[in-house]
Structure 1
Amino acid sequence: MLHTRNHQRRGAIRIRQLNAARQSGVALVVVLLFLVAITGISVWTARQSMLSESMARNQMDQEAARQAAESALRDAERDIDNAPLGALMSNASCARNTAVTDNYGLNPSDFTSDCAKGLCLKDDASYSATNWDTATSSNTGVAEPWWPTSKGGLWNDDPDTKPGRSPVTSANCDTFTGGVPLGTYTGVPPIKGVAKQPEYMIEVFRRKHVRINLDETRVTSTGDKANQWSIMYRITARGFGYSQRTQVVLQTVFFP
């Protein structure tokens, strides 16, 4: 009888040991599953944080490029308004020295097909023939001046052929073509932090009946009479962000 009881006791102990082992195994599996879940959540959170940071950085970069382009637009307007003065502005690299027949704006005869000094000329018939699909770096006949260089545009991305801004130098004032670096003719200081200073181009158009209505007898703000030819300018500005790959192009029509 004693032997039977001892045998039963030993059997019960083995059963408890086996149950404990099974429970330990289940607990280990549960703990491992929790660790995997926590690790997955941590990795996902880290990736989301990095993605949000990247999006915020890209947004800041885009905004910096947009503000730089806005600055170039305003600089071009000052360039047009100051041109008749014919004087070298403080801290400017070059002076327009343009002979104008009126007391405002740029001289239309200074505009050329190669955008010399940032002044671009393209006849109306050529504008109607522009085609983005067929434009290439070598096929400039179907491109507008402000298009990218790869599409036949005339920006001229070689800074060594343009007037210096930092430091200020008058080199290439009479020979450069393409976009005008910020402050070249106005003396506006360079923008800090951007990969490249913004630039602008100016195109000239002659139109009749511009801004004419029942209450207005003037074509432009300078007092031209109705039914006369009016000169307007299309300004295209290109700004860069903290990376030169981030670019924003803005365009406006300006009446002097």
Structure 2
Amino acid sequence: MSGAKQQQGAASLTRERGVALVVVLLFLVAITGISVWTARQSMLAEGMARNQMDQEAARQAAESALRDAERDIDNAPLGVLMAGASCQRNGATTDTDGLSPSSFTIGCTGGLCLKDDASYASSDWSAATTSNTTVAEPWWPASKGGLWNDDETTKPGRDPVSSSNCDSFTGGVPLGTYSGVPAMRGVAKQPEYLIEVFQRKHVRINLDETQVTSTGEKANQWSTMYRITARGFGYSQRTQVVLQSVFFP
């Protein structure tokens, strides 16, 4: 009898050891799964933070381009090449404020874009393509007939400064081309802007304001205003932010 009991005890001990092995393996699988999930969550959070920083850098770059375009408009009548600038606007302009509407072209020469009101009324995003630009607006992406001109070799250089293309380049104006502000560091590409011109009546009419612009005298006179579209890039050119503002000089 004692021998049979010993055999049963040995068999029971063997089964217990087998169950413990299975339990340990299950715990290892669970711990491994939790560790992998935690690592993936950490990588996802890091990627989201990096993308947020990238987009914020692009937004700030676009903001800088908006301010640069305003300086471009205000400084145009001075006819003086600013320190560090590649180009200057027409020094013979007789305008006392802002850019001359006659400087704007349908090809966005020098970043100055002209489009008549009837063409704006017929703008059609769904129909616009690289080959059908008549229904596109200048600031739209190149795939939608926009006129940014991504060929940097056709534009004035900043580092080193080059003025060889000042009179002929078209599309977006790189930051500092006319104002001479320092180039931004850390971004994949310098931000750039386009300027469109509009002439309107009755832009500002209320009891407190009688001037349409800073040079206006009557509330119903023709007013020249500019729409600025700025495009900023982050640490990668794939990250882009586009901002717009309407500027009254």
Q: Same fold (TM over 0.5)?
A: yes
Query: In structure 2, what is the Cα distance between the partners aligned to 1:165 and 1:101?
Result: 28
> What is the letter of the counterpart of residue 120 of structure 2?
Y
Q: Equivalent residue for 1:204?
A: 197
Superposed CA deviations along residues 161-185 of structure 1, whole A, max 9, x for unmatched, are: 0000122111200100000000000
Query: In structure 2, what is the Cα distance between the partners aligned to 1:201 and 1:135?
Result: 19
- Structure showing greater Rg: 1
Residue 100 (structure 2) pairs with residue 110 (structure 1): no
**Deviation, structure 1 residue 221:** 2.2
Give 1:60's match in structure 2, choosing from 25, 33, 53.
53
SS of 1:122's partner is coil
Q: Equivalent residue for 2:38?
A: 45
Residue 164 (structure 2) pairs with residue 171 (structure 1): yes
Runs of 4+ in structure 1 displaced over 4 angstroms?
A: none
SS of 1:141's partner is coil
SS of 1:47's partner is helix
Q: Equivalent residue for 1:3?
A: none
Superposed CA deviations along residues 136-189 of structure 1, whole A, max 9, x for unmatched, are: 001010000000111100000000000001221112001000000000000011
Q: Equivalent residue for 2:127?
A: 134
Q: Cα RMSD over matched residues?
A: 0.9
Q: Equivalent residue for 1:10?
A: 3
Query: In structure 2, what is the Cα distance between the partners aligned to 1:135 and 1:99?
Result: 37
Superposed CA deviations along residues 214-240 of structure 1, whole A, max 9, x for unmatched, are: 121111123432211000000000000
SS of 2:54's partner is helix
Residue 14 (structure 2) pairs with residue 24 (structure 1): no
SS of 2:241's partner is strand
Q: Equivalent residue for 1:74?
A: 67
Structure 1 runs not aligned, ≥5 long? 1-7
How many residues are treated as equivalent by the alignment?
A: 249
Query: In structure 1, what is the Cα distance between the partners aligned to 2:212 and 2:188?
Result: 41
Structure 2 runs not aligned, ≥5 long? none
**Deviation, structure 1 residue 207:** 0.4
Question: Is the 1:207–1:229 contact (alpha carbons within 8 Å) kept by the matching residues of 2?
Answer: yes
> What is the letter of the counterpart of residue 223 of structure 2?
S
> What is the letter of the counterpart of residue 232 of structure 1?
M
Question: Is the 1:195–1:244 contact (alpha carbons within 8 Å) kept by the matching residues of 2?
Answer: yes
**TM-score normalised by the chain length of structure 1:** 0.96
Q: Equivalent residue for 1:5?
A: none
Query: In structure 1, what is the Cα distance between the partners aligned to 2:217 and 2:241?
Result: 35
Moved more, 156-165 or 96-105: 96-105
Question: Is the 2:216–2:223 contact (alpha carbons within 8 Å) kept by the matching residues of 1?
Answer: no
Query: In structure 1, what is the Cα distance between the partners aligned to 2:58 and 2:80?
Result: 30
Give 2:27's match in structure 1, choosing from 27, 34, 37.
34
> What is the letter of the counterpart of residue 88 of structure 2?
A
Q: Kindly, what percent of the aligned residue pairs are identical?
A: 77
**Deviation, structure 1 residue 98:** 4.7
Give 2:186's match in structure 1, choosing from 183, 188, 193.
193
Query: In structure 2, what is the Cα distance between the partners aligned to 1:78 and 1:88?
Result: 13
Moved more, 8-17 or 135-144: 8-17
**TM-score normalised by the chain length of structure 2:** 0.98
Query: In structure 2, what is the Cα distance between the partners aligned to 1:34 and 1:66?
Result: 48
